[in-house]
A and B are shown apart, each in its own frame.
Chain A
Amino acid sequence: MERVKNFDLSRTSVRELNQFLHHDLNAEHTDQVEILHPDGAHSIAAGVNAPVHIHVRGHAGYFVAGMNQQADVTIHGNVGWSIAENMMSGRVHVKGHASESAGASAHGGLLIIDGDASSRCAISLKGGEIVVGGSVGHFSAFMAQAGTLVVCGDSGPNLGDSLYEAVIYVRGKIHSLGADAQEEPMGHADYDAVGRLLNAAGMEYDPKDFKRVASARKLYHWNSEVHQEY
């Protein structure tokens, strides 16, 4: 039987919540945590390392589920900057929109944003997977090193600037590509990857509608031909 623990952030501090999530889940045999009245609070469920289900019932602030490991976190609202930054594993689902730097530097895990993400979504991505139901803002996937960003809507300017080995899939319009990013043909592996991630995110789009963006790898070594890109 699932054991549920409630935290009302209009009465309890984020510190008390996180202390519980870090140290007391096992002692109280908690499987699910309900967080009420988040009211834009920051750092909710930051640093969790346990296979627990966490529901944030409302809008939350910056760094929600920061550095997440194992936890399955659902935010029933919008979130501020840097949702699931540096996530290592687990799953974070934003039912609304996300502000800047969503999934920044995520090493692993799956971040799902049903609505739009703002600028620099997937910046510095290091292996995590991100699915955005709406559109992403400028400089998304900037210097993304590994992992996958799927955008079901449009992308803003300079998508994938200075990409390394991460791959981006966009269903809608790409305003512009950043330095060293290039559009490439979709292959079977790409259709499979997009289909798998859409399925995991519960989004019903046809993978054949997506474009692939990856690194041209012209910035991998210093050379005078591309000096303007530095």
Chain B
Amino acid sequence: MKANCWTGRNTVEVLDVPEPSILNSRDAIVRITSTAICGSDLHLLDGYVPTMEKGDVMGHEFMGEVVEVGSGIDADKLRVGDRVVVPFPIACGACGACRAELYSCCENTNPNAGLSEKFFGHPTAGIYGYSHLTGGFAGGQAEYARVVLADVNALKIGSDLDDEQVLFLSDILPTGYMGAEMCDIQEGDVVAVWGAGPVGQFAMDSARVLGAEKVIAIDKETYRLDMATAEGYTAVDYEDVDVRSALLELTGGRGPDKCIDAVGMEATHGASHVQLYDRAKQAARSETDRPHALRQAILSCRSGGVVSVIGVYGGLIDKFPAGAWMNRSLTLRTGQCHVQKYMKPLLGLIEQGKIDPTRVITHRLPLSEAPTGYELFKNKADNCEKVVLRP
């Protein structure tokens, strides 16, 4: 079958690889009908997430039709022919983390848990197509994929919603939603979102659904800010204005009540010297992540507010404003999304028409053109916001 594989720093190629097989009795094989490129795939592409190996199949946002189920799966739970969306973190549903609905911290699904533990202190869940640090699972930018512990890791879609309406339940919609949910939004809250990429857009939509009074989008790409203003959000272009001043102006000097970092480890910065400093440290590997958005969010947030981090960080950061965080009683909340917790309620919101995930899709390409999709998305060329691939 065809699969989009990582073949070295800054290169992905569509290669012929074997079709997946059942490795565990609770596996299922899915024929993929739609898959997408995620912003976090770009961190893999350019080698900022360690432990990628040449030939790894990329992709953790996918859906399709079940074509084979393992002997350990109860037919009530899943059967051949079911149409499913697959959450990116692999959960077991039985360990302490899963029972606490912290699915992305599942204690059982990462065969490389020992390695993960060395990086993160405790191991984290397996993730499809997302380096060997998260288990070395083949990804879903392919014609077929193996779904692990499929009876607890596949959401059946019974209704006639089309792929594009439900595909993003696999990652970016729940991730954006969790970013807003962690903000514990109260009536009258102003929520600022760093990053108007797809996850940022969904964080904004979710903040509105959860009752935010005003939502502010911070980015430098005009087309992404336009996408936000079209939804009624307020845009701040960090290349034109000083973000903190702009946010104070928009909030009567208080600062946003809640701040969401939907950027993560490869942030860019308006002030070129700061950008250069972090870029240099990152290149020398004495800092793995560039945390401008996080720093800015902490300094901008009103005292007692919440900073919610859904942008991906992989390692270490520098110049963390601990003083601001501590002295101003800020709450910092974060996590890889616990997708399984949010899929069903969000499917409900989609069915009710309260969230329209399709609004972020700008490019539809065949799987064979995945490398082009990566180029467009990485370079923000052709106003690229979200690429959907069809095998």
Question: Do the two chains belong together in a single complex?
Answer: no
- Residues in A lying within 8 Å of B, measured CB to CB: none
- Residues in B lying within 8 Å of A, measured CB to CB: none
